């Protein structure tokens, strides 16, 4: 007998305009010329300089330069600094989790984000906001139908300030035509058709202004042709509370993002991988992507050994990671970041730093 399921259609979903937020992007963003709050130690500065030299060599050689980051980097108003890095051609790939996507979109859409989780969970209001749930889910469902990834779908939605909604007749014809020849595309069309019918979405151009899109990192990446991927987990993000959410579409878009990320890792021999404030998602997707890349390289008689990894986090570390993994009686043994990345070959450095100071220092040194 099947388990009963919660009916999201019964939820009281409120307008986003009624939510009180803590971060306002025009007030709280970090300009690229901001001073550092905590100057680096001599050893920290040497690591920054080493990363800069690695990035320069990687760019000259046409190798991947990847940054994977947690949502706090966006919530802390650092999108302008990331945008500067991709505008100047230093970074070839950006990756984050589902929350990073949401904060970036809310800043572009309404100029503020970051609700009071404790207070809103108590009131049964956390995450139950219409515009965030409706527009982001719809952008991903439409994007998945178009063959786009998660981050790309949202980036296009923000940059174009709207969505082109196909007619029901167009989707029905596509499903019939492709059911045998391309069943996955037919299924994506069926997913979109189901949402259009259930939510009475009209065909044609759906205009959705984003008056603060100059602060949108996904929008900038889409505009500049830099891949931006999201690596979500079902139920982790507030968009799953909205009844329009359709996880099959989420899966299609996220699968494409994972493979786009993995393709960048394929080109990482001689490249640079920077992980900022992501203790689980970043090392987990990196190790699978690196293993797949090694598999393919080995088939060609090659091996990836010259990738450079920098891990940036607030947790203090005093171990020289070039010596390998620290012994179990060393406090640094329990830093999950380093344990994971240190097993992945190449060279690794660990930098104890706030993400704000690190990114500002990186931009300044690259000048």
User: What local confidence, expressed as pLDDT, does residue 178 receive?
Assistant: 95
SS3 for the chain, per residue? CCCCCCCHHHCCCECHHHCCEEEEHHHHCCCCCCCCCCCCCHHHHHHHHHHHHHHHHHHHHCCCEEEEECCHHHHCCCHHHHHHHHHCCCCCEEEECHHHHHHHHHHHHHCEEEECHHHHHHCCCCCCEHHHHHHHHHHHHHHHHCCCCHHHHHHHHHHHCEEEECCHHHHHHHHHHHCCCCHHHHHHHHHHHHHHHHCCCCCEEEECCCCCHHHCHHHHHHHHCCEEEECCCCCCCHHHHCCCCCHHHHHHHHHHHHHHHHHHHHCCCCCEEEEECCCCHHHHHHHHHHHHHHHHHHHCCCCCCCCEEEEEECCCCCCCHHHCCCCCCCHHHHCHHHHHHHCCCCEEEEEECCHHHHHHHHHHHHC
User: What local confidence, expressed as pLDDT, does residue 314 receive?
Assistant: 80
User: Pick from 208, 172, 207, 164: which is nearest to 193 by CA?
Assistant: 172
The predicted model gives 220-225 an average pLDDT of 98
Instruction: Answer whether residue 338 shows pLDDT above 60.
Output: no
Quick one: what percent of the chain has pLDDT higher than 90?
A: 89
CB 106 within 8 A of CB 132: yes
User: What local confidence, expressed as pLDDT, does residue 305 receive?
Assistant: 95
The token pair at 129 is: 């906001």
User: What local confidence, expressed as pLDDT, does residue 360 receive?
Assistant: 98
The predicted model gives 166-189 an average pLDDT of 97
Instruction: Answer whether residue 299 shows pLDDT above 90.
Output: yes
User: What local confidence, expressed as pLDDT, does residue 1 receive?
Assistant: 75
The token pair at 103 is: 């904060």
- The total of other beta-carbon atoms located within 10 Å of residue 24's CB is 16
User: What local confidence, expressed as pLDDT, does residue 334 receive?
Assistant: 46
The band of 320, judged by pLDDT with boundaries at 50, 70 and 90, is: low
User: What local confidence, expressed as pLDDT, does residue 280 receive?
Assistant: 84
* Tens digits of residue pLDDT in 62-90: 999 999 999 999 999 999 999 999 999 99
CB 312 within 8 A of CB 276: yes
The predicted model gives 229-233 an average pLDDT of 96
The predicted model gives 249-275 an average pLDDT of 98
Q: Residue ranges of the domains in the chain?
A: 101-243
Q: Are strands 162-165 and 204-207 parallel, antiparallel or unpaired?
A: antiparallel
The predicted model gives 242-267 an average pLDDT of 98
The band of 16, judged by pLDDT with boundaries at 50, 70 and 90, is: very high
CB 308 within 8 A of CB 272: yes
Q: Is 85 exposed, middle or buried (0-12, 13-18, 19+ CB in 10 A)?
A: buried
Q: How far apart are CA 168 and CA 2, in angstroms?
A: 32
Instruction: Answer whether residue 241 shows pLDDT above 60.
Output: yes
| CA terminus-to-terminus distance, the chain | 64
User: What local confidence, expressed as pLDDT, does residue 282 receive?
Assistant: 93
The predicted model gives 128-139 an average pLDDT of 98
Instruction: Answer whether residue 261 shows pLDDT above 50.
Output: yes
Instruction: Answer whether residue 337 shows pLDDT above 60.
Output: no
- Mean per-residue pLDDT over the chain, rounded: 93
The band of 339, judged by pLDDT with boundaries at 50, 70 and 90, is: low
The band of 155, judged by pLDDT with boundaries at 50, 70 and 90, is: very high
CB 294 within 8 A of CB 304: yes
Residue holding tokens 């919530």? 75
* Tens digits of residue pLDDT in 138-152: 999 999 999 999 999
User: What local confidence, expressed as pLDDT, does residue 219 receive?
Assistant: 98
């Amino acid at each position: 007998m099947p388990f009963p399921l919660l009916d999201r259609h019964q939820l009281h979903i409120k307008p986003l305009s009624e939510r009180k937020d803590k971060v306002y992007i025009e007030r709280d963003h970090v300009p690229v010329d901001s001073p550092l709050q905590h100057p680096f130690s001599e050893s920290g500065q040497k690591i920054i300089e080493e990363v800069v030299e690695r990035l320069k060599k990687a760019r000259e050689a046409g190798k991947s330069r990847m940054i994977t980051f947690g949502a706090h980097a966006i919530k802390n108003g650092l999108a302008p600094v990331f945008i500067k890095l991709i505008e100047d051609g230093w970074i070839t790939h950006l990756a984050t989790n589902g929350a990073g996507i949401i904060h970036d979109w809310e800043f572009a859409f309404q100029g503020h984000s970051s609700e009071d989780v404790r207070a809103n969970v108590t009131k049964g209001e956390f995450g139950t906001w219409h515009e965030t749930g409706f527009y982001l889910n719809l952008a991903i469902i439409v994007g998945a139908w178009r063959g786009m990834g998660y981050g790309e779908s949202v980036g296009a939605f923000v940059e174009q300030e709207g969505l082109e909604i196909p007619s029901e007749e167009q989707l029905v014809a596509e499903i019939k035509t492709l059911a045998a020849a391309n069943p996955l595309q037919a299924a994506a069309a069926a997913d979109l058709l189901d949402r259009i019918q259930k939510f009475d979405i009209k065909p044609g151009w759906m205009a959705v202004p984003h008056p603060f899109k100059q602060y949108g990192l996904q929008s900038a990446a889409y505009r500049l042709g830099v891949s931006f991927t999201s690596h979500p987990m079902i139920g982790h993000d507030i968009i799953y509370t909205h009844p329009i959410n359709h996880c099959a579409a989420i899966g299609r878009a996220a699968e494409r993002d994972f493979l786009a990320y993995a393709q960048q890792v394929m080109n990482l021999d001689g490249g640079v991988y920077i992980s900022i404030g992501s203790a689980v998602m970043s090392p987990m997707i990196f190790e699978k992507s690196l293993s797949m890349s090694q598999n393919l390289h080995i088939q060609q008689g090659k091996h990836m050994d010259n990738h450079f990894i920098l891990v940036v986090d607030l947790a203090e570390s005093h171990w020289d990671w070039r010596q390998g993994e620290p012994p179990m009686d060393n406090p640094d043994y329990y830093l999950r970041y380093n344990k994971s990345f240190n097993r992945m070959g190449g060279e690794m450095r660990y930098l104890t730093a706030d993400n704000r100071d690190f990114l500002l220092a990186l931009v300044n040194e690259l000048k």
